Chain A
């Protein structure tokens, strides 16, 4: 057989090959479009459900600060003012929110205002003490039920029993809307408050700070340990069966379900070592254990990627092993390590199961100020709110998801920034 072939045959076959190229390109394009569509759908759903929680509903209320009701004199000290009877002022204001309210009506009317109104009246007065014996128009926070009705999240054309606001309250509601006393305002509570039983007062500040403390703990524990372990395993450890076993197990550890780490935290950290329950310290320690394998794998991969010629050059100059590693390998491996670390931290940020195990699911109504204070975390907060029956928490859930996504986005931005900052060509 001679090696005879016709170029026409090649050209014919070439058509088939380029058709395959085009087909593959189309598949890729379709896959990308589907992926993007799903992502946009997800983001759109979250945003459309959550954006309304950045608004709160306020009711304009005529509040009369007369000195008899408040039981203070015009020249009262600050301490006396703080102790003044603001709840009575509130009671009167609500009783006169609309003209001619019966006793029963007043009871119903009271339920249309947030429990926080006393405090709002008090704060307003303490800031402007010279309003004593005058009547002021104050915008006070409405109850979540009113808020949801105004936002259109609650249905009004259903049976009275199934509604949060009964028929009489709806009449009040319509009257407020008609007279323009019901207004929407930026919901500062969502950003400054911790969790609350009252949806109109619940905020993410507590869980945000809790997550921040937790992540700081994770970083401080996992980053140095991870880098140390990677450098040792990659550069110094003898290559034998034992180190091979360690290597395999690090890879295995990365695949262990996170709840197992939570059980470890519960069994060892809380019960044996007596760490304080529900705190960022425990949560961070548990998540650090979970993040370690990710960091070690990333760091070792980037150490491996450093060209051996650099290390050889340093060693041939008479650098000691440690000098060669720390002067040349580590700086070059740093961008990759940082990226891996931030991926690990992002994972830790979104982790819920282990935190539930160590008690970070507790209802914590205040913002933590330290690592050993009970606190919530963003993903657990989402879990808590999504479980709540009140309709007002639904939009909070979506908004909290938005916050966690923004947090993640910021972390990734930092990763990109650090990578471009430290990246060097060789």
Chain B
């Protein structure tokens, strides 16, 4: 059994007067892939964005409860979100490479954190990150072309390379394959499988097949509540809750 990396207790999220998450309590294990599934609007993305405090960007969003990362509380005004986010990478639903070159996209994180000293170090980080994201072969001859010139799947892998360039502990993925075709999806899924040896991954997905393929543990959200959580195999073969059963067999959602 792996160590617990992220632990949430009674997390409530309100958008204005509307409550989006109700008392979510979930442990996320180190170096595993945790999938969050559930119908649209059930709060799984909101939950994901609590972990790296991206909900701070939304003025009306209020988060309470407790979330610890490496046993340190992060729901507090004293937490430095910039350093928190430097150890939690994020990949978004729609690939969002910066309008810069491929090289600059990957180099962005290391540069802003000021962790590289020489140009050769930076080049090495960029190369190794692109390699781990499985993109190096395809782009090594055109590192100085804009990142936006890549195909959708390549752009998403570029975003993954960008996230791992700062060597985070955790990677959050918010429906990373929803804008991609099946082949690009398969590539990303293989990549996720490989990345879990080094990183803790939390992935929000609409596709139950994807959750079943890539994750070790799964959490099922419904109407802002975490209905059931457990080993992926168990959730998909023998769920305890009736709603989970209904969702995975396609009766609703």
Contact = CB atoms under 8 A, between A and B. Distances in A.
Nearest to B85: A318
Interface string B93-106: 01011110000000
A347 interface: no
A323 B108 CA distance: 11
A260 to B, nearest CB: 36
A27 to B, nearest CB: 40
B82 A310 contact: no
A313 interface: yes
Given A317-B109, A318-B166, A312 B99 contact: no
Interface of B: 52, 54, 57, 59, 82-86, 89-90, 92, 94, 96-99, 108-109, 112-113, 146, 148, 159, 162-163, 166
A314 B108 contact: yes
Contact of A320 (B82, B94, B96, B98): B82
B89 to A, nearest CB: 7
Interface in A299-325: 307, 309-310, 312-320, 323
Contacts of A313: 92, 96-98, 159, 162
A426 B86 contact: no
Interface string A321-350: 001000110011000000000000000000
B242 to A, nearest CB: 36
A241 interface: no
Contact of A425 (B54, B148, B166): B148
Contact of B57 (A315, A317, A332, A425): A315
14 contacts: A310-B99, A314-B98, A315-B57, A316-B90, A316-B92, A316-B163, A317-B163, A318-B82, A318-B83, A318-B84, A319-B108, A331-B99, A424-B99, A426-B99
Contact of B112 (A239, A309, A317, A426): A317
Contacts of B85: 315-318
A309 B83 contact: no
Which among A310, A317, A331, A425 has the highest number of chain B CB atoms within 10 Å? A317
B148 A426 contact: yes
Please provide the 10 A-B residue pairs with the shortest distance between their CB atoms, ordered closest to farther: A318-B86, A316-B90, A309-B96, A318-B85, A426-B99, A313-B96, A424-B99, A317-B109, A319-B112, A320-B82
Contacts of A317: 85-86, 89, 108-109, 112, 162-163, 166
B152 to A, nearest CB: 14
Given A313-B98, A426-B99, 13 more contacts: A312-B96, A313-B97, A314-B98, A315-B54, A316-B54, A316-B89, A317-B85, A317-B89, A318-B83, A319-B82, A327-B112, A425-B99, A425-B148
Contacts of A314: 98, 108
B81 to A, nearest CB: 8
Nearest to A308: B57
Interface residues of A, number: 21
A309 B82 contact: no
Contact of A312 (B57, B82, B83, B89): B57
A300 B54 CA distance: 23
Contacts of A309: 92, 94, 96
A424 B104 CA distance: 15
A318 B94 contact: no
Contacts of A323: 112
Contact of B99 (A316, A319, A320, A332): A332
Contacts of B112: 317-320, 323, 327
A395 B112 CA distance: 61
A331 to B, nearest CB: 8
A319 B89 CA distance: 12
A239 B94 CA distance: 28
Contact of A318 (B59, B98, B99, B109): B109
A328 B166 contact: no
Contacts of B98: 310, 313-314, 328
A310 B96 contact: yes
B82 to A, nearest CB: 5
A172 B18 CA distance: 95
Contacts of B86: 317-318
A242 to B, nearest CB: 15
A331 B85 CA distance: 23
A357 B192 CA distance: 70
B225 to A, nearest CB: 26
Contacts of A239: 59
A394 B53 CA distance: 69
B129 to A, nearest CB: 12
Contacts of A316: 52, 54, 85, 89-90, 92, 163
Contacts of B84: 318
A317 B54 CA distance: 11
B112 to A, nearest CB: 5
A312 B108 contact: no
Contacts of A426: 99, 148
A283 B163 CA distance: 51
A99 B146 CA distance: 81
A310 B108 CA distance: 13
B179 to A, nearest CB: 12
B166 to A, nearest CB: 7
B85 to A, nearest CB: 4
Which among B54, B92, B112, B113 has the highest number of chain A CB atoms within 10 Å? B112
Contact of B113 (A307, A318, A327): A318
Contacts of A315: 54, 57, 85
B16 to A, nearest CB: 13
